[in-house]
Amino acid sequence: MKTKILSTSEYDIALAGEILAKGGLVAFPTETVYGLGADALNEEAVKKIYAAKGRPGDNPLIVHISEREEIIPLVKEVTPKAKALTEAFFPGPLTVILPKSKKVGNVVSGGLDTVAVRMPENETARRLIKAAGCPVAAPSANTSGLPSPTKAKYVIDDMSGKIDAIIDGGDCKFGVESTVITLAGDTPTILRPGAITKEMIEAVIGRVEVAKAVLEGMGKDEVAASPGMKYKHYAPKAQVVIVDADKKVYEDFVNARKNAFALCFEGDEITVPKVTYGKENDDLSQARELFDALRRLDEMGAKKVYARIPHTTGVGMAVYNRLIRAAAFKIIDLRKPFFIGLTGPTGAGKGYVSRYLSKIGFHILDSDKYVRKTYENNPGLLKRLAEEFGNDILVNGMLDRKRLAQIAFSSKENTEKLNRIVHPEVIALCEKEAKPLSVLDASQLFEAGAQEKCYKIISVIADWKTRLKRIIKRDGITKEQALARMNAQFDEEYYIKNSDFVIYNNGEDIEIQIKKIMEEIL
């Protein structure tokens, strides 16, 4: 099929209206995003929309009208709240859901007994609906799953050859789809946030709820109030990860990731390839530019994208709602510094991995160093140790390390006692010096209970025989001594069971393993 590209001229709108009236498909601009329209009362025409988009048949469409009163024949009843909302926000970026009348077919409602109705503010959209002489069913004019089109060129990219015509009406004013609110249940509930915010709606009809899926995503067994919420959405080809951080931390994080792209705000100082989506404190600008930015990242060939988190209030809720879906709900939280834990039994090669991670740019916190530091300038700690192990461990108020070691390692019980006192202090010190995503290199990670502080844990393990050989060679000790040390630690199974990633270090190329793991964590 050859797709006509039409203008907003009188002639072209009349032509487009005729195409719709005859059961054809026309894409058209609205103030939110471009829509893909068909006669809402013609089931055969509506079916073509699902086919052109590749849209699942249980995901209902919004019916667009050009005058407020046109909602009346589509619904069972215009309730008082519906009347108030349509008076306040029609025409505009709001869609209301009500029980449907017999006039509305099952294809357009995706088999539900409700219908979604919206009266766009965009002049071209309303002229087209008038010219068609029927209500117009229209989802966003993108291929199902891709970002909604905010410019005619993206509609052309997705729909050329699949539909009869596209009206080029320039860029969309808001850039995110309409707010969808259902009035069919007991409490009005926002199913999709948009430019008409919760606060604006509450000012008109009082308390409304926001569906849980709007900001959190759906559990496997949950039933979607709005079928559109359960599908993967707005997803570019690139993998997107949201970074929850302030400007500076975000900049440092992204600039250290050589192969990544940034989806950031204007003015962010970024040294990797970037696309901006609006200004930091201007949610309308973010909404307007987000989908365009996602499509541009694909055009640039981005594989991995780190997006700066928007505010989630006002129209920001709509921006965040689209972005977390584009990111498949992947968020890195850099607000609290957290560690990537690195551990493993003696002789497995943790030290090598640690040095390699440092070489490729990770900030390493060497816990041994912090154990030593913990004892320095820490009278409180020395006092507690003296209470526990006797004043003998102090000489002129200074710690006699040898004496402490003798006592503390004389029994398992004493060792544990010492650890219980010292480990929390070491972790606290490490936390103080941590940057987000620092690697905490700690042979006693689990013994210290530091796994709680770790975002992900990597264990380095190796065959028992390989380890034994390494320890004897490295530390110049006997086989018996080496075995005693190995036996005092957790076994291999324990490390495997309690880690997110395991590096096997029996002489294979572990750098490939390390790189792959770090890529996955990031």
**191 contributes a contact to ligand TXA by CB under 6 A:** yes
Stretch that binds Mg ion, among 6-14, 132-140, 367-375, 384-392 (CB under 5 A): 132-140
391 Rama class: left (phi>0) / alpha (psi -120 to 50) / beta: alpha
Cβ neighbours of residue 513 closer than 8 Å, sequence gap 6 or more: 503, 504
Three-class SS state of 262: strand
Minimum distance from CB of 55 to Mg ion (Å)? 8
- Phi and psi for 182 in degrees, rounded to 5? -100, 135
Establish if 140 lies at the interface with ligand TXA (CB under 6 A).
yes
28 vs 370 by CB, closer to ligand TXA: 28
Q: Which of 97, 260, 407, 482 is close enough to bind ligand TXA by CB under 6 A?
A: 97
Tokens of 430: 């490490």
Is the sign of the CA dihedral 193, 313, 292, 232 positive or negative? negative
Look up residue 85 and give its two tokens.
């909302």
Give least dist CB 213 to ligand TXA, A.
10
Q: Are 347 and 317 in contact (CB under 8 A)?
A: no
- Token pair of 105 as six digits: 């077919």
* Nearest CA among 105, 97, 47 for reference residue 226: 97
Shortest reach from residue 492's CB to Mg ion, in Å: 50
Choosing from 99, 145, 227, 424, the residue that interacts with ligand TXA (CB under 6 A) is 227
Tokens 């993967």, residue? 232
Report the partner that residue 179 touches, choosing among ligand TXA, Mg ion, none (CB closer than 5 to 8 A by kind).
none
**Residue 150 binds to ligand TXA (criterion: CB under 6 A):** no
Q: How far is the CB of 281 from ligand TXA (least distance, A)?
A: 24
List the interface residues with ligand TXA, window 46-75 (CB under 6 A): 59-62
The smaller minimum CB distance to ligand TXA, of residues 32 and 499, is found at 32
In angstroms, the CA 30 to CA 63 distance is 13
Range in contact with ligand TXA (rule: CB under 6 A) among 28-36, 300-308, 430-438, 499-507 = 28-36
Residues 441-470 that bind Mg ion (CB under 5 A): none
Q: Residue 13 or 115: which CB sits closer to ligand TXA?
A: 115
286 binding Mg ion? (CB under 5 A): no
Q: Using the rule CB under 6 A, is 147 a contact of ligand TXA?
A: no
Judging by beta carbons within 10 Å of its beta carbon (0-12, 13-18, 19+), is residue 301 exposed, middle or buried?
Answer: exposed
Please choose, from the candidates 162, 176, 228, 170, the residue with its C-alpha nearest in 3D space to the C-alpha of residue 26. Answer: 162
* In the complex, least distance from residue 164 CB atom to ligand TXA, rounded to whole angstroms: 17
Specify whether the CB–CB gap between 441 and 352 falls below 8 A: no
Cα distance between residue 218 and residue 202, in whole Å: 25
Min CB(145)–Mg ion separation in Å: 9
Question: Is 35 a binder of ligand TXA (CB under 6 A)?
Answer: yes
Smallest separation, CB 222 to ligand TXA (Å) = 14
Question: If contact means CB under 5 to 8 A according to the sort of partner, which of Mg ion, ligand TXA, none does residue 189 touch?
Answer: none
Smallest Cα–Cα separation from 136: which of 26, 229, 216, 301?
A: 26
Binding of residue 115 to ligand TXA (CB under 6 A): yes
**Which listed residue (32, 140, 285, 505) binds Mg ion by CB under 5 A?**
140
- What DSSP state is assigned to residue 107? T
Binding footprint of ligand TXA, residue count (CB under 6 A): 27
Residue 394, classified by CB atoms within 10 Å of its CB into exposed (0-12), middle (13-18) or buried (19+), is middle
Nearer to ligand TXA, 317 or 518 (CB): 317
Q: By CB under 6 A, name the binding residues for ligand TXA.
A: 30, 32-33, 35, 59-62, 95, 97, 109, 112, 114-116, 118, 138-140, 177-178, 180, 191-192, 226-228
> Which residues contribute to the site for Mg ion (CB under 5 A)?
140
